[in-house]
Chains A and B, each alone.
Chain A
Amino acid sequence: MTTRERALTDGFKAMAPMLLALVPFGLVLGVTMAGTVVGAGWGFATSFIIFAGAAQLATVQLLNDGTALAVVVLTALVINIRHLMYSAALAPAFRDFPPRWRAALPYLLTDQTFAVSTLRFERATDPVYRRWFFFGTGVALWVPWQLSTLTGVVLGAQIPESLGLGFAIPLVFLVLLIPVVQTRPGLIAAIVGGGVAVLASGAPYGLGLVVGAVAGIAAGVVAESVGRR
């Protein structure tokens, strides 16, 4: 087997367990999007234009609430700003890739591809292996994401609103929330972020979410520096 084939296969294999969580999320997201003003078509389009579940969910939800467009964009970008961190962590490994790969591969950079790749790159140092491995994890995530959200938007049109499926959104976020509140500053960031978002929910242009997020981030930073003393 060539390095390329081995790297691709390893990438697929490493991503397989992640699909257990990804596919249900994609289905629920699709169903939810179909029920908003965004609709099935543009809802599904967010899967390849944005390709970031939490941001897609927040985007369609805020658009459905009639939030000002600038605030929708701002909120989604705040949610996605964590990619800066991932990009910085992977940059040294990507420096050895050809320019075209360096431009294209970041499109596939997600929470999952980052987690799996940084782990693998610790022992695999061959740049050819590395880029094909990353590409493999990205494709293994991208294809099921498109298919599950597509299935969701198709099914979504047939599911009555009275079932209360909208509740699936906070359920998904609850699951994502558990691992990031295991530290004290993380927990404080969440409590303040959520609390302020509730208090500020009446804010104009749907700014409540951004205000809550900024307050929560600030609280986390303060809690961390206080805890260090």
Chain B
Amino acid sequence: MQFILDGFLSALRMIFSLDREVYFVVWTSLQVSIIAVFFSTLVGVPLGLIAATRTFPGKQALILALNTSMALPTVVVGLLLYAFISRRGPLGELGLLFTPAGVSLGLFMLSLPLVTNLTLSGIQSSDPRLFVTCKLLGATPVQQGIMILKEARFAVMAGIVVAFGRVISEVGIAMMLGGNIRGYTRTMTTAIALETSKGEFELGMALGIFLLAVAFFINALLFMLQRRRA
């Protein structure tokens, strides 16, 4: 018990003394996650909107694929991307393996189905009169899309927040594609795994506190969004 308490106190000391290593790891984590979620929002939200409002061949197959990829284990995503961006892979020349960009790409692949699917279901659960109203007021398809997204904004934002929560707390992709390189690709989750296995309990604990704070912040945001939606 004393060992846990000591670890916790040391962790707090590291946080309040603005320990460079702790904050760099936190910054790397936030950076790769924000970039990944930014791009998955850019692609996933319009994709979810189109899937929810348009009929096209293969729509059901797309929805099935999205549902399946939501449950993909992160190590499988990591493994697949590793095959593509490793030196011998088709995208090996880009030199993405063991770089923050490579980690972001993996996290993007992880969060894209989440953002797309949650946008799609958020729009599908909107009042059907919304679509008719946009049409009858004379909106073009693009204007209709913008208004539909505006009306379903809380559901869409909730999807983005959930995706961020998923990518910041995952470890498989960051480990396989980032390589856990100190001062370069080390993220909160990979650092916790490594430092704890090395017996550096304090650093792991300090990062765990940060990760918990992020989780708390995300849940608070979700809670607020859901309350506004209700």
A binds B: no
